[in-house]
Structure 1
Amino acid sequence: MNAILKTAAKTFTPKSSGDLARLGVFVALAGLILFGALRYDNFLSPFNILSFLRYNSMFALIALGMAFVIMTGGIDLSVGAVAAMSSVVAALLSPYHWFAGLSGGLAAGLVVGLINGFIVTKMRIQPFIATLATMLAAYGTGLLLADNQSVSVSYDTGFTIIGQDDFLGFPIPAWIAIVAYIVGWIVLERRALGRHILAIGDGEATASLMGLKVDRTLLAVYAASGFLAGLAGVILASQFGAGQPTEGVGWELFAIASVVVGGTLLTGGSGSVGATLGGALLLGIVFNILNFENGLGVISLSAYWQSVIRGSFLLVVVILQAGLVKKQDKASGM
């Protein structure tokens, strides 16, 4: 009996600070859901749940792409701008066919992702600088294409089905996010590419000495991040009925916060797809609760406060994460 208990303890005890953080995000998520259910009458209503999932699917998608980038030790600051630009491209092409809008938005995101990967791998520019430059370029391109205004989508070609309709009683954007996360989990946990990504995060030089194709892997990771941001942009245009060239501001912070809240180190080399989804849902529920509090009249926070809260939340998480890394280094004798 004692042997069984010891084995169970080893199995369910977090092995590292990263494992503890990943467990913590789900505990916090459950706690917030319980708090909301007890405090607000309609918090668990089908309307609120489905609206929450429909809207936050966009953030979940960009967080997934960001997670893989951060696992390599990089960063992608362009995801919000790419989503905004892709929403404009999708809206402009939507009158021709729903598939034209979808494929155009995806292609726009993929192109920027490939550019990011090329700059990082071939030109050897730091990811922070490279993606900052493409962020500015993407915002500018979106504004130029849209003539500095929202671009209405076509309601005649079925394009709005992507963002506004349901399948089996569940929002289509949420289905898209679920499929993306399943694929992401398979890549990270069941494919050699996932191990290569983590190895690069531990050290590019070491990964190269091991014979891994570092540049090809990094190019694929940044391309995937751009592609997922483009998909978020398509959903944005379809869901709100217009391409939004000024949207996406602060989305990169939401994505980064979702990743680090899920226990992924900003230094790379570790990460979890499931915990990233948990982090995205956790942040989404925080803002959902704030909206309910606004409705009760207890507090009165404008939409601008979301950026303040998001940035503050990210800062606190990074500080806590840095403390955990220091403790881990001391424990390992480094």
Structure 2
Amino acid sequence: MLNSDAFDLRKYVQRNSQSVAVWIALLALIVFGILRYDNFGGSYNFGSFLNYNSMFIVIALGMCFVIITGGIDLSVGSVAAFSSVIAAYLSPYGLEVALPLALLVGMTFGAFNAFCIIALRIPPFIATLATMLGAKGAALVISGASTVAVDWGSNFTNMGMNKAFDLFPWSIIIVTIVGIALWIVLEMTSLGRTILAIGGGEDASKLMGLKVNRAKAFVYIISGGCAGLAGVILASGFGAGQPLEGVAWELSAIAAVVVGGTLLTGGLGSIPATVAGALLLGLVFNILNFENGRGTISFSAYWQMVIRGAFLFAVILFQTRMTKGRKSKGASA
């Protein structure tokens, strides 16, 4: 339920002050790219960049909720691949059928994760790892381990290939709406406060009478739904369901969330900063592609994985030192 007193701008800025750096870095990279490359700020690169990275942004949004509670969801990449196959099979019935049913598929996986974690008390790492393997195997089985072409005669590809008012891809507009909705939930509702409290201490949250299990179920269902939406964008944008896609997408999502300032231990997180983190990682690789085109350097896609890992390691190291610094100050006080 919305609470007008739940959102305090000053407290929000203080709580997310660590995330300011990612916005500064993102702006600096954009300025650098515009000054260095001729077509970097062009509409084609702008639209292609947003359209492609919308998949990673929406998965990172769901992952942000999970990590805030101190959990993890390793299944999002496989769930996205499975949902893309389902969406491709449903594409003859149009986007109005394929989109909600693919979302439902993703949320079903999320509900299964929640059941394993809450009812069966399986650690999130193990539960979502099992779901990751199951979803990947199921995607390969129902697709015959090959791509599933969409129906080009329906309106299914509009979401991934068309632009609204010839400006922004429909995919990024939908993801923006999802992001705003999740931000409202996290910052302006009692459910959001419970999610943050769980990350600060689940046992203490239960003693306070908070509905911990309901909140944990919500975040995993949302994470699955976001993965399902990413699968629809994948199938709609590439013209086929992709059962072999989604590999290491969960790592990209975790990287975006952590780069955005969310603590892996839970209790602190920001939806806007997560979006900035996902855009920042995507922009790094976009700039590397432009450098490859200039012939200045020659980085393969494999080097991009190395750079992502090094970047994530540096951010986690910074987070660890910041956390230790806060704890030592608290102890001395």
* TM-score interval, normalised by the smaller of the two chains: over 0.9
Shift of the 211–15 alpha-carbon distance from structure 1 to 2, 3 Å rule, reads closer
Amino acid of the residue matched to residue 285 of structure 2?
F
1:98-137 pair list within 5 angstroms: 98-137=95-134
Helix, strand or coil at the partner of 2:92 = coil
SS in 2 for 1:95: helix
Q: In the alignment, is residue 164 of structure 1 matched against residue 161 of structure 2?
A: yes
The amino acid that maps onto 2:37 is Y
| Displacement of 1:97 | 3.0
Aligned to 1:181: 179
Mapping 1:1-334, distance limit 5 Å: 19-168=16-165, 169-333=167-331
Percentage identity across aligned positions?
56
Alignment CA distance shift 1:239-1:277 (3 Å): same
Q: Identify if the C-alpha distance between structure 1 residues 16 and 98 changes in structure 2 by more than 3 Å, giving closer, same or farther.
A: closer
Structure 1 residue 323 displacement after superposition: 1.1
Deviates more, 1:311-320 or 1:260-269: 311-320
> Do the aligned residues in 2 keep the contact of 1:200 with 1:214 (CA within 8 Å)?
yes
The number of residues matched between the two structures is 324
Task: Show CA shifts across 1:277-318 (max 9, x none).
Answer: 111111110010011011011111222222222222212211
User: Structure 1 residues 18, 12: closer, same or farther in 2, change over 3 A?
Assistant: closer
CA distance in 2 between partners of 1:96 and 1:23 (Å)? 44
Q: Distance between the aligned counterparts of 1:247 and 1:27, measured in 2?
A: 32
Deviation of residue 216 (structure 1)? 1.1
Query: 1:238-292 CA distances to partner (integer Å, 9 max, x unpaired)?
Result: 0000000111111111111111111110000111111111111111100100110
Greater than 4 Å deviation, 4+ residue runs: 11-18
d(CA) in 2 for partners of 1:21, 1:312: 20
Alpha-carbon separation, structure 2, partners of 1:221 and 1:15:
21
Amino acid at match of 1:104: L
Contact map agreement 2:198 2:212 (CA 8 A) in 1: yes
Tell me, in whole angstroms, the C-alpha distance in 1 between the residues paired with 2:317 and 2:12. Answer: 21
Could you report, residue by residue, the CA deviation over 1:166-193 in whole angstroms, capped at 9, with x for unpaired residues? 1122110010111011101100111111
> Per the alignment, in what secondary structure is the counterpart of residue 88 of structure 1?
helix
The one-letter amino acid of 2:222's match is: A
Counterpart Cα distance in 1 of 2:12 and 2:97: 47
Rounded to whole Å, the distance in 1 between the matches of 2:233 and 2:35 is 32
Which amino acid counterpart does residue 252 of structure 1 have in structure 2? E
Paired letter, 2:318: L
The TM-score, its normalising length taken from structure 1, stands at 0.93
Structure 1 residues 158 and 12, CA gap change in structure 2 (3 angstroms): closer
Shift of residue 223, structure 1, vs aligned partner: 0.2
CA distance in 2, matches of 1:192, 1:20: 22
Shift, 1:103, TM fit: 2.3
Q: Which amino acid aligns with 1:70?
A: I
Distance 2:13 2:180 in 1: 24
Q: Assess, with a 3 A threshold, how the Cα gap between structure 1 residues 12 and 122 changes in structure 2: closer, same or farther.
A: closer
> For residues 36-89 of structure 1, what are the alpha-carbon distances to aligned partners after superposition, in whole Å with 9 as ceiling and x for unaligned?
111111110111111111111111100000000000000111111111110011
Question: Which structure 1 residue ranges, 5 or more long, are not aligned?
Answer: 1-10
Q: Give 1:12 deviation, angstroms.
A: 11
The residue identity in structure 2 corresponding to 1:180 is V
- Opposite residue 231 of structure 1, the aligned amino acid is L
Letter in 1 for 2:111: L
CA RMSD in angstroms, aligned pairs only: 1.8
Contact 2:16 2:270 in 1 (8 A): no
Q: Which moved more, 1:69-78 or 1:296-305?
A: 296-305
Is the contact between residue 75 and residue 250 of structure 2 (CA under 8 Å) also seen in structure 1?
Answer: yes
Offset of 1:96 from its aligned partner? Answer: 3.0
The separation in 2 between residues aligned to 1:74 and 1:46, in whole angstroms, is 38
